[in-house]
Amino acid sequence: MTIESKIKLQLDTKICEKVPGKGGGGCINSGECYRIDDNKLIFVKICTKSNADEIMSGEFNSLRAIRDTNQINVPEALGIVRQPNEVALIMSYIDMKSLNQLQGELGTNLAKLHLHNQQLMEQHDYNAGFVGSSGSMETGVDCVEPVTEFGFQCVTNCGAIAQNNEWQKDWITFFTRNRLEHQIKMIEENYNDRKVNELWSELQLKIPKFFKYFTDHAINIKPSLLHGDLWSGNACESNGQPFIFDPCCFYGHSEYDLAIGEMFGGFRSTFHQHYTNVIGKAEGAEKRIELYQLFHYLNHWNHFGGGYRSQSLNLMKKLNRM
C-alpha cells in the first residue's frame, strides 16, 4: 500500500495528491505537501532513521501537548503512518514565512506556554481548599490535572538522539542526570574522551550553585511545558500569527527554552522583552542559560562529531570558573 493510500485511510479522505514545490526538510527528516478533500493542504514529515517510530511518536505527542494548552500556535498533529523503512507524521500545512514582525508576540505566547502548567497547579491548590470540588469554584471550568514532576509521558528526540524523559521530582536532579549526564555517557561510549570526564567530575558538583537564588529564597522551580529545541529555525509566522514547530517536549525549567535560541541567534531583543514582561526574570538567569546551552553543545557533539568538542569543553571550563 502506498503512503498516499495510508494517508487516505488515516484521515478518511478521498483525495491525497502531492503538491510540487511545497516540500522541505532538514538533516534528519524530509517532507512533502499533499492536497486532500476540500482543497485542504497537509504536510507529511518522513523519517527513515532506525528509531523513526520513536522520533515521530515523540513529535506527535509534543505537538498535541503544546496545542492542548491553547497558548501558542503549532501545526496540528493529525496522525502517523508507517511504511517499510520509514515513518511519516501527518500535520496541518503551515505556509511559513520568516519570523519578522511578530517576534514580540511570539515572546509573549511562549511565556504564556511556560506559565500554563504553573497556573494549573495554582488552580488545583485553590480547588483543593473546597471539600468535594472537582473544578473551579469561580469559573465552573473543569480543572485539568497539572504536571507536578519533571519529564514527559514518552521519549522525545532532540534531533535524532532520544532524550531521557523519566520523571524526577526535582529539576536540578532531572537536568543533571537526564540531560547532561545522559549526553556525557554517550560521549564516553563514542569517543572515550578523558578531558570531558575530568571537567564533568568537577562541574556536576557545582551545578547546585547555579540555582542559589532559588534555594536562598525557598522557591521551588515549577515544571513548565517546554518546546525543547527552540531556535529561530523552529519558529515562523503564518497568516499574521507566530508559530513554533519541530518540538521535542518535556516539563522543565522555563529558562531552558531560551538557551539554544541565544546560541544561534535569530530572536531579537523585542522577543526577549515581551517574554520577560510576562514571566519575569530571576537573578542569575544568564549563567543558568549558559549551563543549559551545554546540553545543546554536547548534543551537537554527539550528532555531528568532534567539531563541537572544543566548544563543549570551553563552555565546561567557563562554567567551572563561575
Please list, in sequence order, all residues whose beta carbon lies within 8 angstroms of the beta carbon of residue 24, skipping any fewer than 6 positions away. Answer: 30, 31
**C-alpha of 282 from chain center:** 21
Which residue's entry shows cell 487516505? 8
Q: Cite the active site residues.
A: 229
- Report pLDDT for 230: 97
pLDDT of res. 137: 45
Q: How confident is the model over 49-88, as pLDDT tens digits?
A: 999 999 999 999 999 999 999 999 999 999 999 999 999 9
pLDDT at residue 139 in the model: 43
Tens of pLDDT, residues 159-211: 999 999 999 999 999 999 999 999 999 999 999 999 999 999 999 999 999 99
The pLDDT value given to residue 129: 75
Segments making up each domain of the chain, as ranges: 15-92, 103-321
What does the alpha-carbon distance between residue 64 and residue 76 come to, in Å, rounded to a whole number?
7
Q: What is the DSSP secondary-structure string of 174-236?
A: IIIIIIIIHHHHHHHHHH--HHHHHHHHHHHHHGGGGGHHHHHTTPPPPPEEE-SS--GGGEE
CA-based nearest residue to 58, from 167, 186, 165, 176: 165
Please tell me the predicted confidence (pLDDT) of residue 130. 67
pLDDT over 70 at 27, yes or no = no
- Write down the CATH superfamily of domain 103-321: Aminoglycoside phosphotransferase (APH), C-terminal lobe (3.90.1200.10)
The model's pTM is 0.94
pLDDT at 140: 41
3-class SS shares of the chain: helix, strand, coil, % to 5: 50, 20, 30
Q: What angle do CA 205, 208, 214 make, to 5 degrees?
A: 175
Question: For residue 222, what pLDDT band results from cuts at 50, 70 and 90?
Answer: very high
137 and 40 Cβ atoms separated by less than 8 Å: no
Selected from 3.30.200.20, 1.10.30.50, 3.90.1300.10, 1.10.3720.10, the CATH number assigned to the domain covering 15-92 reads 3.30.200.20
- Tens digit of pLDDT for each residue in 95-153? 999 999 999 999 999 999 999 999 999 998 888 776 555 554 444 445 689 999 999 99
State the pLDDT at residue 77. Answer: 98
Read off the pLDDT of each residue in 211-215 and give the average, rounded to a whole number: 97
Give the pLDDT score at 143: 64
> What is the average pLDDT score of the chain?
93
